[in-house]
């Protein structure tokens, strides 16, 4: 599997300290499920903002988009 275990300092569930974390062979930190969900929420929010901006630009140009 080529996974490596190490310690990382941080805060989780309002507790600050050192946490055992997994890294892959390239040195990439493997995210916890909650971190993955947060990342997905951020991406979705960015896409929503982008879509809203594009809709506003279309409306400013006199085009009513199908929403």
At 31-47, the pLDDT tens digits run 999 999 999 999 999 99
Checking phi first, is residue 60 left (phi over 0); if not, alpha (psi -120 to 50) or beta?
alpha
- Per-residue pLDDT band for 66 (boundaries 50, 70, 90) equals confident
The span from the CA of 1 to the CA of 23, in Å, is 11
pTM of the model: 0.71
pLDDT higher than threshold 80 for residue 24: yes
For the chain, give the percent of residues with pLDDT over 70.
Answer: 99
pLDDT attached to residue 67: 64
């Amino acid at each position: 599997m080529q996974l490596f275990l190490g310690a990382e300092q941080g805060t989780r569930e309002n507790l600050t300290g050192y946490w055992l974390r997994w890294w892959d062979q390239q040195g990439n930190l493997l995210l916890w499920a909650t971190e993955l969900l947060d990342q997905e929420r951020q991406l979705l929010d960015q896409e929503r903002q982008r879509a809203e901006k594009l809709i506003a630009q279309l409306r400013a140009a006199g085009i009513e988009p199908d929403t």
